[in-house]
Amino acid sequence: MHVPRDAMLLRVFLGEDERDHGRPRYEAIVLKARELHLAGATVLRGPMGFGHSSRLHTAKILRLSEDLPVVIEIVDSEQKITEFLPVLDGMMGSGLVTLEKVQVLVYGETKLAELRA
């Protein structure tokens, strides 16, 4: 699979307890991205965060939260990310979705020097 040097980074912020047809929503989103052949996705679990409700979610022992923040990062071409957005929209409950332009320097086993050529 090829990812262009000038690509897009899609970030999805949500709570780890959110569900989509019985499974974690972050899992459903990543599996859908894979099914649609996006270049890659990573799920990051945050130890602390808050969103639009200002409710604090934390992994501290005295305030153990089961709904910790989760961030999904997906990088691919602008076209493929744009095509994925309506699919993602249909899967979202609450949360935050952001987009930004990025430069891909390494993807898989491609070396930096090969990308500059």
Q: What is the pLDDT of residues 21-44, one digit of tens each?
A: 999 999 999 999 999 999 999 999
Question: Which residue did the predictor score with more confidence, 47 or 91?
Answer: 91
pTM of the predicted structure, to 2 decimals: 0.84
Mean confidence (pLDDT) of the chain = 87
| Phi/psi at 49 (5° precision) | 180, 170
89 close to 16: Cβ distance less than 8 angstroms: no
Beta strands of 1-117 (E only): which ranges? 6-15, 19-20, 23-24, 41-45, 48-49, 57-58, 69-76, 96-103
* Domains identified in the chain and CATH numbers: 6-104 (3.30.70.120)
